[in-house]
Structures are given as C-alpha cells and as structure tokens.
Amino acid sequence: MEFSSKKIRDLAVGDRVDCYFIIKRVDLKTTNSNDKKYLDFIFGDKTGEISGKLWEVPQDIETYFTEGDLVKVRGTVTSYMNNNQFKVDRIRKASEEDGVIPEDFVESAPLKNTDMLRDIEGYLQRIGDQDIQQVVQMALEEKKDKLMFYPAAKRNHHAIRSGLLYHVLTMLKLGDQISKVYPAVNTDLLFAGIILHDLEKINEMDSSELGIVKEYTLEGNLLGHISLGVKNVDRICDRLNTPEEKRMLLQHMILSHHYEPEYGSPVKPMFLEAELLHHIDMIDARVFDFTLAVRDLEPSSISENIFSLDRRRIYKPTF
C-alpha cells in the first residue's frame, strides 16, 4: 500500500499519508462505548491543523507525547462532520536523523513579525498625547521580544505563531478606518487601548518560541490577562507620573474590553473608545474564527460545531 507526504491543506479523504506534523494538542481520552483509551490529537503544519485519533493506545505511550513535539505519523484521512480527520496507524517522535526542524511545521501569522512590529510602532507614534504615548511605549518595549512569537490564545482565535502581533495590527487597521468615518473618535485612546488590551497574555500563557502554548501560568490562572493588564498599567503610570484621569481611562479600556462579567470584565465600557475597543476585538476574533472554520471545507458544505463561535456550524458558500 502506497503512502504519500502532503501538507495539511492538500489532504483529501482517503489519502494514505506518511508525513511530519507538530502536535498542537494531545489529550488522553476514553471511548463511551467500551471504555478503551485513545489519544486525541490536533496536528499542525504551516498550512493548517487537522484532528487525529490514535485508537486503543498502548499503555506505555499514554503520556509519551506532548504539545510541541515534532512527530512522524502514518495513517488515513477520514471525514467527521464534514471536516478532515486523521486516523493514526503509527506515530513516533522525529529524530535528528530525520533532518526536519519544528519551525518548518508551525502555522504563523501571514505577515512577517518584524514588519508587523514596525507597523504597530508606527501607530504608536501617531498617538499625540505624550502621557499616553509614553505609557504604551514602555509597555510595548517591555514585551517586544516575546511579542515576536507569542500567539493570542492557546486555542481559537489567532492561536498561531506571532498571532498576538497580527491580532493587534489588524485591530489597529480597523480602528484607524472607523475613526475616518466617525470624527468623534479619539485615536490616541483607541490606538492605546488596542495595543495594551491583550499584552498581558504574554504573562497569562506559557508559550514556546514556536507559538505553542502548553499551559496557563499561575498568574494567568489566578488573575487572568485583564487583571494583569490593569496592574501593569498602574505600575508604568506610577513610574511615569501619568495624570490620574489618563491612567484610569487606559485601565478602564483593559477592564471593559470583554464587556460581560462572565467573560472577565467587571465593568462595561463607559466611553466611546472603550466601546469601540470591545467591538473591534470581537470583529477581529470572529473574522479569524469564521475564516478558519471554512478554510478546509468544500464549497456548499457545513462545518462541525465551532466552540469559539457559540458552537455554531458554519456554512461555506459556493462563491
């Protein structure tokens, strides 16, 4: 029986494949029907992700594989809920003799990280209020090195290498366009809020330089990026002697950008730019997740339930 080596985006149902993947996620689970254990994978390469199953997993490898492992996998592409799924026959960790490196198998933002950072710094320079600009500049400078590779999430929107940079930049571009339609928008506040709102995800999550998050940090679990962001702005404003109202406005934008208490925001937006920050954040996340949900679908078909989109099934039009 012949096996081929393909990228994830080129896989089709029925393909027999022998190729390399990065493990984005792996969980040991038990079947409902016969209580047998299996490994539930999310495999990735630069072209996308695919779920995979290793059924009736041997006990000696139940905990052998972890997120970030580069593996060689042999198996068959099947279909589940209109999405490709990989049935694993054999799997092993890649060795030095294989001559492959993890960086070649990691999905990254579609723009170069140095270019994205440069563009974000361009928006920073457009902030006219010197007090606000100095706060944002210090916060950005402190996180710059990790920003180059950090994702914006462990799963769901922008969970790719340099995803946090990409998320911030696309939000800035959208905010810039909105401000041209509505002259009442204070772009100093809007740009500042966009750059600051998710920066503390860098302390909330523990990411490898491949942009793969293995777990949340202790601070991330106990406090979350919103509380960490407010604390960080407070520390920087103390250092810079930032006027009290400007400090509170920046903190309020971070506090309110998730909008609802059940999503981590203790207050709702109380001024225009804070309101816009929330909606721009939601639009950017939704566009990413909708695009990802249908990327590998055939036209005129419907996805499986997408957790990040309220468990909706998403349709891919024919045009």
Q: What is the pLDDT of residues 229-277, one digit of tens each?
A: 999 999 999 999 999 999 999 999 999 999 998 888 999 999 999 999 9
Start-to-end C-alpha separation, the chain = 37
Half-sphere exposure of 162 (CA within 13 A, CB side): 18
Q: What is the pLDDT of residue 105?
A: 86
H helices of 62-186, in order, are 113-125, 130-147, 163-181
Which of the residue ranges 31-35, 113-117, 189-193 would you say has the lowest mean pLDDT? 31-35
Please state the pTM of the whole predicted model: 0.83
Instruction: For residue 49, list its beta bridge partners.
Output: 44
Here the contacts of 305-310 (C-beta below 8 Å, separation 24 or greater) are 305/81, 307/156, 308/155, 308/156, 308/157
Q: What is the pLDDT of residue 3?
A: 55
Query: Which residue has tokens 């040991």?
Result: 28
Q: Are 108 and 25 in contact (CB under 8 A)?
A: no
